[in-house]
């Protein structure tokens, strides 16, 4: 029997691009043999701001059935795949707020020795995708986590061009998640499950 693997896909999405990517990542991890929890982080923006963007309003309604993340999801997981849109080349405030609540688990060492990875999206092709993922990964170093990124380990990565994690250019919402991005989520999810299983089995020896 293969070593069981628990994967949490934890994300923030305002207008739906990251929601689509997170669902794909979760489905791909499950197809690779993992038990998966798909979790969104809490929305922090005021309703007045949300109401100015119909896509934001629609995404909140469409994801009402997705459970909000708790610290329990972090302790349950053998691997965590975080998703955040770029915010000035950085992680969204909503995801960062959740990360900042994990100090207790960090102090207890309960976030260490897990596999972590990340994905992102931006409006433009030079909108901070790489810096967002690198900023996210700073937190993983503090956790004592094990980064598993896609690298250039699959021919498709020479097409999408991002070794740090899956990324998508969404424009002004007019560039939906496409086959290139969905291929990237599959490559990343499969790699995360593969190495999480190997590390977990190795640590159990």
Domain boundaries, the chain: 6-204
pLDDT tens column, 36-56? 999 999 999 999 999 999 999
Q: CA-based Rg of the chain, rounded to a whole angstrom?
A: 16
C-alpha separations of 84 from 4, 14, 80, 110 in Å: 27, 10, 13, 23
Q: How confident is the model at residue 157 (pLDDT cuts 50, 70, 90)?
A: very high
pLDDT tens column, 70-102? 999 999 999 999 999 999 999 999 999 999 999
- What confidence score (pLDDT) does residue 173 get? 87
Average pLDDT, the chain: 97
- What confidence score (pLDDT) does residue 95 get? 98
- What confidence score (pLDDT) does residue 56 get? 96
- What confidence score (pLDDT) does residue 156 get? 97
Judge contact between 7 and 77, C-beta under 8 A.
yes
- Domain 6-204 belongs in CATH node 3.90.1150.180: no
- What confidence score (pLDDT) does residue 205 get? 86
pLDDT tens column, 102-136? 999 999 999 999 999 999 999 999 999 999 999 99
**Which residues are within 8 A (CB) of 90 and not within 5 positions of it... i.e. 6 or more apart?**
128, 131, 132, 135
Q: Choose among 82, 135, 85, 139: nearest CA to 111.
A: 139
Q: Choose among 190, 193, 185, 143: nearest CA to 168.
A: 185
**Distance (Å, rounded) from C-alpha 91 to C-alpha 81?**
14
* Residue 140 CA from chain centroid, whole number: 13
Q: Average pLDDT, stretch 190-205?
A: 96
- What confidence score (pLDDT) does residue 17 get? 97
């Amino acid at each position: 029997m293969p070593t069981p693997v628990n994967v949490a896909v934890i994300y923030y999405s305002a207008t739906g691009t990251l929601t689509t990517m997170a669902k794909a990542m979760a489905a791909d991890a499950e197809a690779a043999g993992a038990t998966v929890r798909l979790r969104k982080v809490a929305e922090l923006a005021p309703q007045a701001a949300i109401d100015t963007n119909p896509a934001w309003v629609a995404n909140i309604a469409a994801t009402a059935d997705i459970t909000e993340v708790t610290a329990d999801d972090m302790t349950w997981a053998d691997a965590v795949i975080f998703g955040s849109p770029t915010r000035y080349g950085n992680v969204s405030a909503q995801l960062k707020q959740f990360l900042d609540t994990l100090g207790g688990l960090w102090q207890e060492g309960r976030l260490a020795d897990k596999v972590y990875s990340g994905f992102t999206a931006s409006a433009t092709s030079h909108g901070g995708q790489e810096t967002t993922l690198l900023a996210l990964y700073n937190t993983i170093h503090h956790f004592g986590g094990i980064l598993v990124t896609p690298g250039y380990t699959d021919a498709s990565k020479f097409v999408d061009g991002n070794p740090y994690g899956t990324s998508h250019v969404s424009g002004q919402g007019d560039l939906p998640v496409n086959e290139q991005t969905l291929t990237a989520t599959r490559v990343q999810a499969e790699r995360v499950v593969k190495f999480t299983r190997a590390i977990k089995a190795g640590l159990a020896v």
